[in-house]
Structure 1
Amino acid sequence: MTVATVTTTVVALDMALDSFDDQYRGCRHAMTQLLPALEHSEFQKNPQLARLWVEAAERWQRRGPPVTPLSPAQAIALMTYTTKDVSKEFNAAVRVAGRSRREYRHNFHFKALHFLLTDALATLRDARGPRCHHVFRGVRGLRFQARPGDTVRFGRFTSTSLRKEIAQQFGTDTVFQVQTCQGVDIREFSSSPGEEEVLIPPFETFRITGVSQEGDRAQIQLRSTGTFSKYSCEWLRRDITGTTWGTGTPTVGYRGHRCHYDDRVHYGHREATVATTVAMVTVATLAILATTVTITTRATVVTKTPGVTRPPQPR
């Protein structure tokens, strides 16, 4: 008789110092100006991301223009991220893109998505005012080495739920109970609003307040202590002529809420309608997809197994 075994990987819960953690403080407007070129380049490198972006844009347009402080690009970025085909690959890249400036500049092909997600969360925090959430995250196949009193970060965009029973659908090998003050409720921008998702940015810091073990399962309690970033406006440090734009000084965190007054001019571009913006994004992205679709369809064979139901995968 063959007995199925489940492998659980043990990893350290630490400050995740290899992650790319830019908060774009003071340069959100400048980054917004660079988005068209960044998106064009990265959609060429990642046709699947381009396709999923178009699909998210179309879903956002069908929902109609809600009253929201977000630009269409920010809202579409959140919808794209919450598509499960995107978040896993994206977060794996975020976790290592901060190893060096060279790694970020040359090997991280999600610069536009990283900026738009960070910007969207900051915009929603500014609009809604300071608040903290008590949330849960369930993980399958991973157990974390955690010591009470340590300061840690997730080092990625971390999906959590306001409801424990929903979080546990994604796994129970480790269950986090988290007080987050940087995480934002993104239900109205999610591809799966029923998950009641609060999205935590990579740079939020937490103190481990409790660790308990029940057999092979662990529960970890975290409380927000502020933020920490190694990177600051990294993409603007040098333009193509070699001119230095910023200092890249590490940003140590703060408690509570901070408005980005220096970037308020950035929001003038929201006068464009959702329909116009979606149309522009769709046309540009489809042009990129057209150059690769023939090769992709010839080289890829998709098979489906009927009747197989898989558990939800964590983002």
Structure 2
Amino acid sequence: MELRGQKSALHTNKYCPLTNRCRRILLANTAAFAVRIWLLRGQLLLLLLCSGLQRPTIAVKIDFDLAPNSFDDQYRGCSQQVMEMLLQGDYFMEELESSKHYRKVWQQTHLNWLNQEKSLPGSMTITHAVAISVYLSDDRVHLDFSRAMASAAGSLQQYKHSFRFKYLHYFLTSAIQLLRKEIVSRKDSLCYEVQHELKGVYLQAPVGAIVRFGQFLSTSPATEQAQRFGNQTLFTMLTCLGAPVQDFSLKKEVLVPPYELFKVVNASYHPRGNWLQLLSNGNQSTYNCQLLKETIFEIWLKVTSSIQRTQKGDKK
């Protein structure tokens, strides 16, 4: 994978002897000059922003490999248990209290949905709908959530104490999965041709590489006009795990989950911009049912501590 500024390609950091750990990234800023940013491998995911942000002062950075540090739980075999735990516990209130802005956006979006009285597909709840709308509509929440996802997968303790979006992550993941079930039941097309633009970034990946974004990626329907681009990387992709979310957004969008794998099947590089064609290639998750494991770990600690106290008491 290579990320280039206007003149320079991605190079090994000469100050890092471990060439597989440290890389130099050159990003173009609004004045079209190259901006040098030094990051360890696996940290580029911190600022993955959808092009819908349209903020020229923000450099878009992405780790376009398998995004190994991304929190990618699919909740396989435990979705119902996790939802019950989230609804019964203090997770939601703690999540809202962590940010006044997030709380305001969530409450306003929830109120809007109640006033609209829209029917929801399949087993989706208003909470699923609000989660999608909040993520797609608010740039600040989008950025904070993306940053949190990029750094939550280090350890169980890191997930427990640092990842403050457990509620939003679950309901976004569950919403995509429920929408996919609805698509299958209607016997609609299972895959979608979509596109996504990263402005101010030149990104390269070899044909045949297997990659994933490691974030919830908002995409739009692929168009022929998309080939006319400049100063950006354009992805055109066939997603078979993403779901249309136009009922929860102001525009036609397909939301791609962080665990979907893609194969690079074609690529074109030009001074005015790069183009990568991606084909869905299954899915991959490092984590599964992490919230339940966190609870089990806490119970184990309490039991162990209780046994140790009892043993000390017996010795006395």
TM over 0.5: yes
The answer for the alignment partner of 1:140 in structure 2 is 199
- How large is the RMSD of aligned CA atoms in angstroms? 2.5
CA contact (8 A) 2:156 2:294 kept: no
> 1: CA distance between counterparts of 2:34 and 2:202?
11
TM-score (norm 1): 0.70
- Higher relative contact order structure (alpha carbons within 8 Å, sequence separation ≥ 6): 1
Read off the aligned partner of 1:4 and give its amino acid letter.
Answer: A
CA contact (8 A) 1:139 1:170 kept: no
Instruction: Tell me how far 1:170 sits from its aligned partner.
Output: 11
> 2: CA distance between counterparts of 1:159 and 1:111?
20
The 5-angstrom pairing of residues 94-243 of structure 1 reads 94-129=149-184, 131-164=190-223, 173-190=232-249, 192=250, 194=251, 196-239=252-295, 242-243=298-299
* Residue 22 (structure 1) aligned with residue 73 (structure 2): yes
The 1:131/1:61 distance shift into structure 2, 3 A limit, reads same
Partner SS state of residue 48, structure 1? helix
* Residue 58 (structure 1) aligned with residue 117 (structure 2): no
The 1:7/1:164 distance shift into structure 2, 3 A limit, reads farther
> 1: CA distance between counterparts of 2:257 and 2:229?
19
> 2: CA distance between counterparts of 1:11 and 1:123?
28
The answer for the alignment partner of 1:72 in structure 2 is 126
* Residue 4 (structure 1) aligned with residue 31 (structure 2): yes
Structure 1: any 5+ residue segments left out of the alignment? 245-315
> 2: CA distance between counterparts of 1:73 and 1:39?
11
> 2: CA distance between counterparts of 1:102 and 1:241?
10
> 2: CA distance between counterparts of 1:63 and 1:118?
23
The 5-angstrom pairing of residues 238-249 of structure 1 reads 238-239=294-295, 242-243=298-299
Instruction: Tell me how far 1:143 sits from its aligned partner.
Output: 2.3
The 5-angstrom pairing of residues 293-304 of structure 1 reads none
> 2: CA distance between counterparts of 1:165 and 1:34?
46
Spell out, residue by residue over 1:145-194, the C-alpha distance to the aligned partner (whole angstroms, 9 max, x if none): 3111111000000010014489799985000001000110000012x2x2
Q: Percent identity?
A: 33
The answer for the alignment partner of 1:259 in structure 2 is none
Indicate the structure (1 or 2) with the bigger Cα radius of gyration: 2
> 2: CA distance between counterparts of 1:147 and 1:210?
9
Instruction: Tell me how far 1:142 sits from its aligned partner.
Output: 2.2
Spell out, residue by residue over 1:103-147, the C-alpha distance to the aligned partner (whole angstroms, 9 max, x if none): 222111111100000000001111111700000001112222311
The answer for the alignment partner of 2:310 in structure 1 is none
Partner SS state of residue 160, structure 1? strand
Instruction: Tell me how far 1:243 sits from its aligned partner.
Output: 3.5
> 1: CA distance between counterparts of 2:296 and 2:229?
44
CA contact (8 A) 1:138 1:170 kept: no
Instruction: Tell me how far 1:96 sits from its aligned partner.
Output: 2.3
Instruction: Tell me how far 1:42 sits from its aligned partner.
Output: 1.0
The 1:113/1:171 distance shift into structure 2, 3 A limit, reads farther
TM-score (norm 2): 0.70
Structure 2: any 5+ residue segments left out of the alignment? 1-29, 36-58, 301-316
CA contact (8 A) 1:161 1:167 kept: no
The answer for the alignment partner of 1:48 in structure 2 is 101
Read off the aligned partner of 2:106 and give its amino acid letter.
Answer: W
Read off the aligned partner of 1:88 and give its amino acid letter.
Answer: L
Partner SS state of residue 242, structure 1? helix
Question: Which residue, out of 126, 129, 147, partners 1:92?
Answer: 147
Aligned residues: 239
> 2: CA distance between counterparts of 1:126 and 1:27?
17
Read off the aligned partner of 2:112 and give its amino acid letter.
Answer: R
> 1: CA distance between counterparts of 2:268 and 2:284?
27
